[in-house]
Structure 1
Amino acid sequence: MSAARTYYTELSVAAARRAATLQQRYDRLAIARLIGFFVFIGALILSFSTALYIGVLALVVGLPLLSLSVRWHLRIGGQAAHARVRHELAEGELLALDHRFAHFADGRAYRSADHPYAVDLDLFGPHSLYQFINRTVTAIGAERLAGELLHPAPVAVARQRRQAGQTLATRMDWCVEFRALGAPLQDDIHTSRRLLEWVERPPVIVGAFPLAMRWLAPVLAVLGLWWCFTQQPWQLGLLCFVPAFILLRRFGEAAAVEHGYTQQAGAMLARYQQLFLHIEGQPDRSLDAAGPIGKLSYAITQLDVRNNPFVFILEITGLWSIQWLARLDRWRSAHRDQLAQWLEELAEVDARVSWATLRYNHPDWTEAELTDERVLDGRGLGHPLLSPEGRVTNDLHMSTDGHIHLVTGSNMAGKSTWLRTVGINLVLTRAGGPVCALHLRTAALQVWTSMRTQDDLSENTSSFFAELKRLKAVIEAVQDPDQEVFFLLDEILKGTNSRDRHTGARALIRQLIRERGAGIIATHDLELAALEDEPHSRVENYAMEVQTNDGQLVFDYKLHRGVSQSFNATALMARMGIEIDPADISLTHD
């Protein structure tokens, strides 16, 4: 049993046992609380019937004890729920170790057809790379993780992320606790964005009169109530509430606007505070965000009270909204430049927990070496989304200075999977993550792909024209002096006839080489293999073969030097019931 499996198994058992124990205690205390409540009511009745001061004494002593018992009971319930979350996290990781990871969020919202490689490399969606890696608990962390996969980092940043991820992978207890604290979160990225917009807004409660009325309004309310109930004419007491009416009318619209920016952020920030406290507990962290974030959460929660139908009493007697808007103004003034930094830090840590978990769960993966040399040297490269039991690995050695590997092979031989294997591991390298390989040394490459072009009825675009547009984008990327492109092309110009396809593909390959582009091209067009024999050629031929054993097709998915010699399309069609004339087969192969 692997170290990761042992750890998660022990964690699952221990957390389940603790959850059961705490739940039993919680249930027993619920009964005790109910009995205690009735005892308290009986004691109050008896005390007040004996003497007033005894009843008051019983009330003064009993209410705090009753409140403490409620808080104790709720705390035990929270601990039980927390233990259950830890158990569920451990069970989820045990499933992931069995290569079952559909229970993690797949990030389909980040998928973009215009991205250089996101669609072709299955970055997002069901059974995607993002779903395989993702362990984030915040919306900002989820977006940060997606961004790290979508946007290749500079070499220095990738190395920094790698080092930080390696360090955190040695603190898996800390990572699990972070995820458990954040698991109840139901935030969304729009709430965070509105909050960042809010913090840049100017203060709302300004001027001597409204600031002074924050303190005078309660005094005037008490005076007005006293006059209304004790003096004549009682209507004069209502004059004490006029300043409050004026201010509420003046700031009513502003309060609604401010509340629109912060609404629903209070509960989110309360949970963020717990995450910040956990982050600040690390010895190598000098963050001080938990306290201010907690105060902001509380102030926003109090402003949310304005949605209560009975809040009018609080508004007219104490200017409730204005009181909390003023406190929010003070918080904004004190931390305007820090909120964005704190959320950025939280997002970074959240994403880093995902990378740390990936490293911990897959200690057989390796750390890629980014080099200034224009090389791509990999050994034992595998596709991370394939189960380890059935994963076939291959080696790759090539210059990235205008060199192309041309991979030929029959249907289902594994050419497309090989392209995705190389692409995904390059993406992982630039993101600062580990790679599914025994060794990988590479230049800082920007991946571009053209593998799954489809027609677009909304733009009246055929699949062939869509592919041409994609290839144009690849050419322009190769011509860009600011990026070193590595392209992965599958079946170039497959939407046209064989003669045009061969002519166009050959011209494209020569142009890409002239532009010093590098990459891998998978094709059924065996005639393209002749490019390797041209003078000063930078094309190398590789093949993935299929063998026939007792009429059955056997795939080894291994990469071999040379040109494919096997054909299986007719065999597959025959197995599907299509009657193939032997004469046609021999003619086709000739």
Structure 2
Amino acid sequence: MEAPLPYYRRVSGEQLQLSQTLQRRYDRLAIVRLLVFFAVVALLILAWSGGVWWGLTVTLVAVTALTWGVRAHLRIGKRADGARVQHELAEAEIRGLHHDFRDRPDGAQYSDATHPYATDLDLFGPYSLYQFLNRTVTAVGSRRLADQLLKPAPVEVADARRREALALVPDPDWCLEWRQHGADLHDKDAYAARLLEWVERPPVVTGRFAHLMRWAAVPLSLTGLWFCFTQEPWQLGLLFFVPAFLLLRRLSEPAAIEHAYTASAGRALAGYARLLAHLEDRYRPESPEAAPAITRLGYYVSQLDVRHNPFVFVLEITGLWSLHWLYRLDRWRTAHRHDLPRWLEELAEVDARVSWATLRFNRPEWTEAEFTEEPILEGEALGHPLLAPEVRVTNDIRLQTDGHIHLVTGSNMAGKSTWLRTVGLNLVLARAGGPVCARHLRTAALQVWTSMRTHDDLSESTSSFYAELKRLKAIIEAVSDPEQQVLFLLDEILKGTNSRDRHTGARALIRQLIRERGAGIIATHDLELAALENEDGPAGHRVENYAMEVQTRDGELTFDYKLHRGVSRSFNATALMARMGIQIDPEDIKLTHD
């Protein structure tokens, strides 16, 4: 299989050249089309001057030929646009391979401050996991991808997603074409939601009178026109239009409601149909009806929209335009009431799957997580997914998940928080059915809980310290739940209070989490907590100390971001403060370090 960077460079070059070639052809044919139009007008004038039958024959041939030519010309334009979109997509992937993905949607609308880990692990927002991963083109697919990150899947579901996405990895062309078909969709969550509401509504065209008028409207109108122009008093001819007028009044409100449900979604239906046709082309179902059915629905909706054109009143009063399209919408709804939710579900699932397949194709060095029923989390060369490979530092982990804690000490900027996010993000990826940024990862089906960022809540008059206590309470409750296997990630717990209370509270919290058989990683500056590793009692031998150190060389701080066994012995806060101009007494530094 071709490597990602050469592949995208090849596609970018080929599609750019194809787009330019087709665009030049389209522009030349536009001039030819204009000249042909004038030539046809002149030909029709000559033909009609030679007689009616000659004029009718030439008109039929000319209109047919012009229609075919216009459609062929428009197809060339669409092909040029498609090639241009594929070129732009390939260029965006090249930037993404160099970790520039800031132009993609970041999913900020899915962020939830109360979620067990979404905020602390940067799932959504600028430079987030979602922005790094997202390749969706539909609103339902975007929501599905967000849900997969937010809701850890059962192991069997994650494995099924993994298999389905892996089947797409060898076919990056198909994935790019999928995104090309949805590039101009401009979809919204409300579109699919309103369609699902609409399909459950009862029929609009009901009763014998309405069904009779579908066939009788035109004959009645023709009779009325004949009476108006040929008989006396001509006003009696207007009576033939009364049934249509009464029916239009009755259908006015239902038609407006139908239009409200379908009009906005109608703009997206053509895009849905293209995507479903592309899907059916790959999987070749026995009855490929989704794309044609969605296309018909889009056409019916567009024809119902015409009712707002003031010139359509003539068609309404003489042929009951709205009645015919409402009837077709009723028939479509009856035929596909149970199909539409299934089609939208499939659309969402495949749209999210393309994102996972693209991630695997772009990052072939990543691996697939292995789930086990053992209470274990072990990984080799675990790295942060959002860091570029050239700057990413990896570490190993082995943690028993039945009441064991890794206590990570270290100085400021040494990488403790990044390590917590590294572990958390890879577990989120694994539970979502995605690949992980590691050489190997074997894990129980863990539910991640974090407490890393806490903020004041003015609406509830809540301080950051109280907000952290509420978060820790939720984590304790989750750990105590026998239905969950929790891995907690805590960064500087109880940082909003004085050092004595913080140390006392942290020790008590760690002991309680161990008693509840909780497992996790705690990053802290409180070196005295390291004594828990060797103390007698429940916490003894269930706390393991790790450190991330910093070195000073020629007055410069250097970080290796590597995890080492033991307790940190390096300090850098005073050095950083001194650089900012804070004058610190050397004796104070000595006392602090002692």
Q: Which amino acid aligns with 2:272?
A: Y
Greater Cα offset, 563-572 or 166-175: 166-175
- The equivalent position to 2:552 in structure 1, one of 540, 548, 551, is 548
Residue equivalent to 1:162:
162
Deviation, structure 1 residue 371: 0.8
Deviation, structure 1 residue 118: 0.4
Instruction: Supply the distance in 2 between the matched residues of 1:164 and 1:424 (Cα, whole angstroms).
Output: 22
Deviation, structure 1 residue 550: 0.3
Residue equivalent to 1:445:
446
What does 1:162-241 correspond to in 2, within 5 Å?
Answer: 162-241=162-241
Deviation, structure 1 residue 283: 3.9
User: Is the aligned partner of 1:475 residue 2:476?
Assistant: yes
Deviation, structure 1 residue 383: 0.3
Deviation, structure 1 residue 329: 1.1
What does 1:112-123 correspond to in 2, within 5 Å?
Answer: 112-123=112-123
What does 1:247-326 correspond to in 2, within 5 Å?
Answer: 247-283=247-283, 285=285, 288-326=289-327
Deviation, structure 1 residue 54: 2.5
Instruction: Supply the distance in 2 between the matched residues of 1:2 and 1:569 (Cα, whole angstroms).
Output: 48
Residue equivalent to 2:397:
396
Instruction: Supply the distance in 2 between the matched residues of 1:2 and 1:208 (Cα, whole angstroms).
Output: 64
Instruction: Supply the distance in 2 between the matched residues of 1:387 and 1:432 (Cα, whole angstroms).
Output: 22
DSSP-derived class of the 1:384 partner:
coil
Instruction: Supply the distance in 2 between the matched residues of 1:232 and 1:528 (Cα, whole angstroms).
Output: 106
Instruction: Supply the distance in 2 between the matched residues of 1:307 and 1:489 (Cα, whole angstroms).
Output: 59
Q: CA deviation digits over 1:514-556, x for unaligned, max 9?
A: 1111000000000111110112431100000000000000000
DSSP-derived class of the 2:258 partner:
helix
Instruction: Supply the distance in 1 between the matched residues of 2:2 and 2:258 (Cα, whole angstroms).
Output: 53
What does 1:555-570 correspond to in 2, within 5 Å?
Answer: 555-570=559-574
Q: CA deviation digits over 1:430-473, x for unaligned, max 9?
A: 00000000000000000000001000111111110111111111
Tell me if the contact between 1:402 and 1:538 (Cα under 8 Å) persists in the aligned partners: yes
Q: Which amino acid aligns with 1:141?
A: G
Tell me if the contact between 2:12 and 2:87 (Cα under 8 Å) persists in the aligned partners: yes
Deviation, structure 1 residue 495: 0.4
Instruction: Supply the distance in 2 between the matched residues of 1:487 and 1:256 (Cα, whole angstroms).
Output: 53
Instruction: Supply the distance in 1 between the matched residues of 2:382 and 2:119 (Cα, whole angstroms).
Output: 21
Deviation, structure 1 residue 285: 4.8
Deviation, structure 1 residue 569: 0.2
DSSP-derived class of the 1:557 partner:
coil
Instruction: Supply the distance in 1 between the matched residues of 2:508 and 2:193 (Cα, whole angstroms).
Output: 48
Over the residues paired in the alignment, what is the CA RMSD in angstroms? 1.2
DSSP-derived class of the 1:340 partner:
helix
DSSP-derived class of the 1:25 partner:
helix
Instruction: Supply the distance in 2 between the matched residues of 1:229 and 1:146 (Cα, whole angstroms).
Output: 66
Q: Which amino acid aligns with 2:581?
A: G
Residue equivalent to 1:342:
343
Deviation, structure 1 residue 240: 1.2
Q: CA deviation digits over 1:1-22, x for unaligned, max 9?
A: 9711111111011101111111
Instruction: Supply the distance in 2 between the matched residues of 1:19 and 1:448 (Cα, whole angstroms).
Output: 49
Residue equivalent to 1:501:
502
Q: CA deviation digits over 1:9-64, x for unaligned, max 9?
A: 11011101111111111011101011101111111222223333332322121111
DSSP-derived class of the 1:295 partner:
helix
Tell me if the contact between 2:158 and 2:432 (Cα under 8 Å) persists in the aligned partners: yes
Q: Which amino acid aligns with 1:249?
A: R
What does 1:502-521 correspond to in 2, within 5 Å?
Answer: 502-521=503-522
Tell me if the contact between 1:279 and 1:285 (Cα under 8 Å) persists in the aligned partners: no
Q: Which amino acid aligns with 2:564?
A: H
What does 1:565-576 correspond to in 2, within 5 Å?
Answer: 565-576=569-580
Instruction: Supply the distance in 2 between the matched residues of 1:308 and 1:82 (Cα, whole angstroms).
Output: 32
DSSP-derived class of the 1:187 partner:
coil
Tell me if the contact between 1:273 and 1:291 (Cα under 8 Å) persists in the aligned partners: yes
Deviation, structure 1 residue 157: 0.2
Instruction: Supply the distance in 2 between the matched residues of 1:99 and 1:134 (Cα, whole angstroms).
Output: 13
Tell me if the contact between 2:194 and 2:265 (Cα under 8 Å) persists in the aligned partners: no
Greater Cα offset, 362-371 or 296-305: 296-305
Instruction: Supply the distance in 2 between the matched residues of 1:227 and 1:471 (Cα, whole angstroms).
Output: 85
Distance 1:289 1:52, change over 3 A: closer
Residue equivalent to 1:373:
374
Residue equivalent to 2:40:
40
Tell me if the contact between 2:551 and 2:557 (Cα under 8 Å) persists in the aligned partners: yes
Instruction: Supply the distance in 2 between the matched residues of 1:170 and 1:215 (Cα, whole angstroms).
Output: 55
Residue equivalent to 1:94:
94
Deviation, structure 1 residue 264: 2.0
Residue equivalent to 1:15:
15
DSSP-derived class of the 1:135 partner:
coil
Residue equivalent to 2:427:
426
Instruction: Supply the distance in 2 between the matched residues of 1:263 and 1:482 (Cα, whole angstroms).
Output: 45
Instruction: Supply the distance in 2 between the matched residues of 1:289 and 1:427 (Cα, whole angstroms).
Output: 33
Q: CA deviation digits over 1:364-406, x for unaligned, max 9?
A: 0000001111100000000011111100000000100011000
What does 1:325-364 correspond to in 2, within 5 Å?
Answer: 325-364=326-365
Instruction: Supply the distance in 2 between the matched residues of 1:272 and 1:385 (Cα, whole angstroms).
Output: 31
Q: CA deviation digits over 1:62-113, x for unaligned, max 9?
A: 1111111111111111111011011111111111111111121110000010
Deviation, structure 1 residue 284: 6.7
Q: CA deviation digits over 1:344-364, x for unaligned, max 9?
A: 001000000000000000000
Q: CA deviation digits over 1:233-258, x for unaligned, max 9?
A: 11111111111111111121111111
Residue equivalent to 1:149:
149
DSSP-derived class of the 2:558 partner:
strand
Instruction: Supply the distance in 1 between the matched residues of 2:314 and 2:235 (Cα, whole angstroms).
Output: 18
Instruction: Supply the distance in 1 between the matched residues of 2:79 and 2:2 (Cα, whole angstroms).
Output: 29
Instruction: Supply the distance in 2 between the matched residues of 1:227 and 1:430 (Cα, whole angstroms).
Output: 75
Residue equivalent to 2:111:
111
Q: Percent identity?
A: 67
DSSP-derived class of the 2:127 partner:
coil
Residue equivalent to 2:458:
457
Q: CA deviation digits over 1:179-222, x for unaligned, max 9?
A: 11111101101011011011111111111110111111122112
Instruction: Supply the distance in 2 between the matched residues of 1:292 and 1:67 (Cα, whole angstroms).
Output: 25
Structure 2 gap segments, 5+ residues each:
none
DSSP-derived class of the 2:282 partner:
coil
Greater Cα offset, 390-399 or 40-49: 40-49
Q: Which amino acid aligns with 1:544?
A: M
Instruction: Supply the distance in 1 between the matched residues of 2:246 and 2:352 (Cα, whole angstroms).
Output: 49
Residue equivalent to 1:76:
76
Tell me if the contact between 2:409 and 2:416 (Cα under 8 Å) persists in the aligned partners: yes
DSSP-derived class of the 2:435 partner:
coil
Residue equivalent to 2:487:
486
Instruction: Supply the distance in 2 between the matched residues of 1:95 and 1:307 (Cα, whole angstroms).
Output: 46
Instruction: Supply the distance in 1 between the matched residues of 2:487 and 2:284 (Cα, whole angstroms).
Output: 38
Tell me if the contact between 1:382 and 1:393 (Cα under 8 Å) persists in the aligned partners: yes
> Could you state the TM-score of these two structures normalised by the residue count of structure 2?
0.98
Instruction: Supply the distance in 2 between the matched residues of 1:383 and 1:37 (Cα, whole angstroms).
Output: 62
Instruction: Supply the distance in 1 between the matched residues of 2:313 and 2:477 (Cα, whole angstroms).
Output: 63
Distance 1:499 1:284, change over 3 A: farther
Deviation, structure 1 residue 296: 1.3
Instruction: Supply the distance in 2 between the matched residues of 1:150 and 1:218 (Cα, whole angstroms).
Output: 57
Instruction: Supply the distance in 2 between the matched residues of 1:276 and 1:294 (Cα, whole angstroms).
Output: 10
DSSP-derived class of the 1:558 partner:
coil
Instruction: Supply the distance in 2 between the matched residues of 1:537 and 1:216 (Cα, whole angstroms).
Output: 89
Q: Which amino acid aligns with 2:578?
A: A
Q: CA deviation digits over 1:258-313, x for unaligned, max 9?
A: 11111122231111111111111124755641122122111111111122222222
Q: Which amino acid aligns with 1:23?
A: Q
Instruction: Supply the distance in 2 between the matched residues of 1:414 and 1:274 (Cα, whole angstroms).
Output: 47
